[in-house]
Amino acid sequence: MVIIKPSLHTIQTANITHFMSHVGIDNLSDFHRFTVDHYQDFWRTIITTLNIQFKKQPQQICDLTNGPEAPSWLPHAKMNIVDSCFTGNPGEIALIYQIDNVIQEMTYAALESLSNQIANSLIARGFKNQDAIAIIMPMNHYAVALYLGIIKMGGIVVSIADSFSSDEIATRLHIANAKAVFTQHVTAWAGRKLQLYDKISQTNIPCIILTPDPNHTSPKRPQDITWDHFLLSDQKFESYSADPMQMINILFSSGTTALPKAIPWTHVTPIKAASDAYFHQNIQSHDILAWPTNLGWMMGPWLVFAALINKATIALYTDTPMEKPFGEFVQNAHVTMLGIVPTLVARWRRSKCMESFDWQQIKVFSSTGECSHEDDMSYLMSLAGGKPIIEYCGGTEIGGAYLSSTVIQDNYPSLFSTPTMGTNFVLLDDKKQIANEGEVAIITPAIGLSTVLLNNNHHDIYFKDMPKGPHGETMRRHGDALKKLKNGYYRMLGRTDDTMNLGGIKVSAVEIERALSDIPELIETAAIGRTGNHRFTELVIYAVTTNQCNKSTIMQQMQNQINRKLNPLFKIHEIIYIDALPKTASNKMVRRLLS
């Protein structure tokens, strides 16, 4: 296994090292314990460190009058989190993006001015505080400015991925009670032109506002508005003064098992995102962050706040990141932190498409969205000359991660080294006893954790029938399964509902998929347990392959790998070839469509 050891310079200059020194702690495990045992002191200090702006200072950090399931953060304060995105030098670069293959830049001053114009324009059009306004478009410079402008005027952004069908979009717009949608006429993806405006206009949303497009000058529906008719010239705006627990964003769970949960973010949630980036990805003001994502997936809003609150630069790429042009953009934009989903790396490794670029300026990678494979992550490290990968695992309802790594610890591909600062968890076995392997139970309270759902019972989803923590704490279920290793690191086992019982032995689908990952002909696999005629669980493997492969040969290779790496009792019942595995917009596999 490849191990990346941090240099003395990295350790000495890391954000987390400076913060630990400030609070008088020199051991990472002790520091994490401090961040959860003394969470009010911790969050008070990080709020100062990140220069979070208030119109009225909070009287305390956390009020538990309504219990740990529903904490009130920063009570009696007034704020608008967008103000905290513009505390640095206005002349520094906020966004880097490409138009016709030419690198463009937008300063913090220009981004703030555009977001102010958008806020003024929304109010002039009659939109008001707490109106829900959707953004359904690629994550380009307009999308970032719209996101900030809506929140700045007191509105609620409804984040929806532009890859969804009209029906899926309509469902989300209805749940959020959206008053309008911002989008664009056409979006480009992998050489294709996708008619985005036409798709959204089928949802019967009252108003669509279109960003600039020189090839399309007028909307098809009379109630829709072009950018020229929408945007006012006034570039000054005083942000709306809000309660910290007021909603700023409605995001949706991936919908891997049922109707997507509508999860609100508040003005407090971005503090979690920015804090994670500060401690775990070690984001600093000179960094340039690229993370192929969308505002419809939590990593889009996360990226906005993680970068801007930390005074860094976001590099935006809106086309497919699977091919060479993305690698060229990473090189030419001088990206220093690159976020990925593991599927991307698997494709890069097989095609070798990124090997011709100079990525030496990258100081750290970060991986999220799905379980990664050791060989793929080792390959990714090599593309930048041996740089660490910060594994990052959490969710929309966390505002970031509960489990990650740091740049000051030894970095092992596909392993996590520590719970995130300010968040803690335990693992529960099948009997709901604390163990070294099992389901994640997060200990409350912690900044970032959701307190309500718009279309479901929050208590039933996260807290019902959960045991108390080791010291009587309230715990909430998360659904991930982990294994804590002897060295204190963690390995992801996937979702608890992705486990199966084969021959009386419990195993996760991810463990089986990992065992198959180094068979050259396989691009991706999905393992599922299917109930057979005799009510025993049968192991079925769905496989995406590089070419037409002989099933009996591949099955034998797979079985050999499983016998050697896992257990010879795990017998493959069937292999099914498939062109592509079903996935959500956030790249999570939808196993229920395979069963």
User: Could you give all domains of the chain from N- to C-terminal order, each with its CATH number?
Assistant: 109-230 (3.40.50.980), 503-593 (3.30.300.30)
pLDDT higher than 50, residue 233: yes
Contact 11, 18 (CB under 8 A): no
Q: Which helix (H) or strand (E) holds 103?
A: strand 102-107
Counting residues of the chain whose pLDDT is more than 90, the rounded percentage is: 76
pLDDT higher than 80, residue 583: no
Cβ partners under 8 Å of residue 418, min gap 6: 28, 29, 32, 403, 404, 405, 406, 409
Structure tokens at 342: 């593991």
Q: If you average pLDDT over residues 514-527, what whole number do you get?
A: 86
Mean pLDDT over the full length of the chain = 93
User: Nearest 5°: CA angle at 360, between 358 and 361?
Assistant: 110
Predicted confidence (pLDDT) per residue in 397-456, tens digit: 999 999 999 999 999 999 999 999 999 999 999 899 999 999 999 999 999 999 999 999
Report the pLDDT value the prediction gives residue 535, as an integer from 0 to 100.
Answer: 58
pLDDT higher than 90, residue 255: no
The pLDDT confidence band at residue 392, using thresholds 50, 70 and 90, is very high
Predicted confidence (pLDDT) per residue in 290-322, tens digit: 999 999 999 999 999 999 999 999 999 999 999
Segment among 425-429, 457-461, 496-500 with least mean pLDDT: 496-500
Predicted confidence (pLDDT) per residue in 163-199, tens digit: 888 988 999 999 999 999 999 999 988 888 889 999 9
**Using CA atoms, how far apart are residues 56 and 245, in angstroms rounded to an integer?**
14
Segment among 37-51, 301-315, 480-494, 547-561 with least mean pLDDT: 547-561
Q: If you average pLDDT over residues 243-265, what whole number do you get?
A: 85
Strand order in the sheet with 418-419: 393-395, 400-404, 418-419
| Higher-scoring residue by pLDDT: 43, 544 | 43
Contact 319, 101 (CB under 8 A): no
Segment among 241-255, 375-389, 508-522 with least mean pLDDT: 508-522
Report the pLDDT value the prediction gives residue 415, as an integer from 0 to 100.
Answer: 97
Predicted confidence (pLDDT) per residue in 9-55, tens digit: 999 999 999 999 999 999 999 999 999 999 999 999 999 999 999 99
What is the maximal distance between C-alpha atoms in the chain?
71
Give DSSP secondary structure letters for 372-400. Answer: --HHHHHHHHHHTTS--EEE-EEETTTTE
Report the pLDDT value the prediction gives residue 564, as an integer from 0 to 100.
Answer: 86
Report the pLDDT value the prediction gives residue 125, as an integer from 0 to 100.
Answer: 97
Report the pLDDT value the prediction gives residue 254, as an integer from 0 to 100.
Answer: 63
Report the pLDDT value the prediction gives residue 494, as an integer from 0 to 100.
Answer: 82
Predicted confidence (pLDDT) per residue in 315-348, tens digit: 999 999 999 999 999 999 999 999 999 889 988 9
Report the pLDDT value the prediction gives residue 74, as an integer from 0 to 100.
Answer: 98
Report the pLDDT value the prediction gives residue 585, as an integer from 0 to 100.
Answer: 59
The pLDDT confidence band at residue 241, using thresholds 50, 70 and 90, is very high
Cβ partners under 8 Å of residue 297, min gap 6: 159, 161, 369, 585, 586
